[in-house]
Amino acid sequence: MIVSGFMGSPRKNGNTAFLLKKFLKEAEALGAETRMLHVPDLTIHPCTGCALCEKKGYCHFNDDMQKEVFPLMRMSDVVVIASPIYFYNVPSELKALIDRSQTLWSRKYKLRLTDPGQSSRKGFLLSVGATRGKDLFDSIHLTMKYFFRGIAADFAGELTYNRIEEPGEMKRHATLNSDVHTAAEQLLTPLKQRTPTLVFVCRDNSLTSQMAAAFAQHYAGDRIHALSAGIHPGHDIHPELVKTMEKKNLDVAYRRPRSLASLTVGTRPDRVILLGDGEDTAIHIPGARVSSWTIPGGHNPDTDSMASLCDVIEDKVKDLIHGLHLATDHSKTI
């Protein structure tokens, strides 16, 4: 389970940063793997309103939104936005990130592509402001509502604090520890209870295992936790993967290969499925049932065979999900 924090304050050691770090530390105590990006440190060009993303699904700026932000959002189970209040909304650097997320909005609403992770991804807001007005957080709340919807995350909650202005005030806040503990527990406990956890593995995590995990997420939704990894992960996904999955109306853009070793840190798979052609190295994950799917030609298929490869993996995943006898109460048979 990955919880990613996007820190929008220019002050790296201010009250907003303290609140976010506190939240992420609590998430780690609950078993999550956490990541944090300081948004003002990133290179993010403002949206120019060119509408290219609405037609092609990509932005013409090849900046940190493409290289870091979108990939992290897509791999995250929880996206946390932490922001101070600037004129009743977020600072300009964070607003640029939000505006540029029009790319993901366009892929979802204009191109009608489904992010396989959308049924379980959550969004959470942390915010502090100096004034005591009752409408202090109204604008940022509305912004977050539509931002999280655009990135395919359910707006699951918020912690907001007014009258926070002097350095160190969050650290001295009387209810902070209990607030953060309760919020993190309520947010993450249901995610931890998703069962079973399935990990699809191939040699480089650039194609077949990515396909399988995406189909599993799509067909089982939040009833399972589906991940993918590589024994020797590559640098990027197969160039034809996104196009092939788009024909199934599934959006796997911005996914990145990940190593099996890093994935299993803090993760206890119930079942591991190795996809290969019979030449792959056998693997052993303590406590997990390991099985293999022989996928001929799965390492480097040509354009003509990509569609049939995709169909084969989709059918195998459907059979697998059906055999798990999943129920809404999270019971499992593996």
First to last CA, the chain: 20
d(CA 105, CA 53): 9
Q: What is the largest CA-CA distance in the chain?
A: 65
Beta strands, E only, 112-153:
122-128
197-323: what fold? Answer: Rossmann fold (3.40.50)
Residue 330 in this model has a pLDDT that exceeds 50: no
pLDDT band at 315 (very low <50, low <70, confident <90, very high): very high
Residue 75 in this model has a pLDDT that exceeds 70: yes
Six-digit token string for 204: 């480089």
**Average pLDDT of span 116-137:** 92
Q: What is the CATH code of the structural domain delimited by 2-192? A: 3.40.50.360
Residue with tokens 């599934």: 250
Residue 51 in this model has a pLDDT that exceeds 50: yes
Beta bridge partners of 160: 127
Residue 297 in this model has a pLDDT that exceeds 80: no
pLDDT band at 329 (very low <50, low <70, confident <90, very high): very low
Exposed/middle/buried for 240, CB within 10 Å: 0-12, 13-18, 19+?
Answer: middle
Q: What is the domain partition of the chain in residue ranges?
A: 2-192, 197-323
- Helix crossing, 15-29 with 176-192: angle to 10°? 40
Q: Look at residue 277 in the predicted model and tell me its pLDDT.
A: 66
Residue 303 in this model has a pLDDT that exceeds 80: no
161-218 pLDDT, tens digit per residue, is 999 989 999 999 999 999 999 999 999 988 877 678 899 998 899 999 999 999 999 9
Q: Decide which of 132 and 42 is more confident.
A: 42
Q: For 87, phi and psi rounded to 5 degrees?
A: 50, 50
**Residue % of the chain over a pLDDT of 90:** 68
Give pTM, 2 decimals: 0.89
Q: Decide which of 326 and 102 is more confident.
A: 102
pLDDT band at 328 (very low <50, low <70, confident <90, very high): very low
Residue 32: half-sphere exposure toward Cβ, Cα within 13 Å: 28
Q: Look at residue 137 in the predicted model and tell me its pLDDT.
A: 95
Beta strands, E only, the chain:
2-7, 33-38, 78-84, 122-128, 154-161, 197-202, 225-230, 271-276, 289-294
Fold equal for 2-192 and 197-323: yes
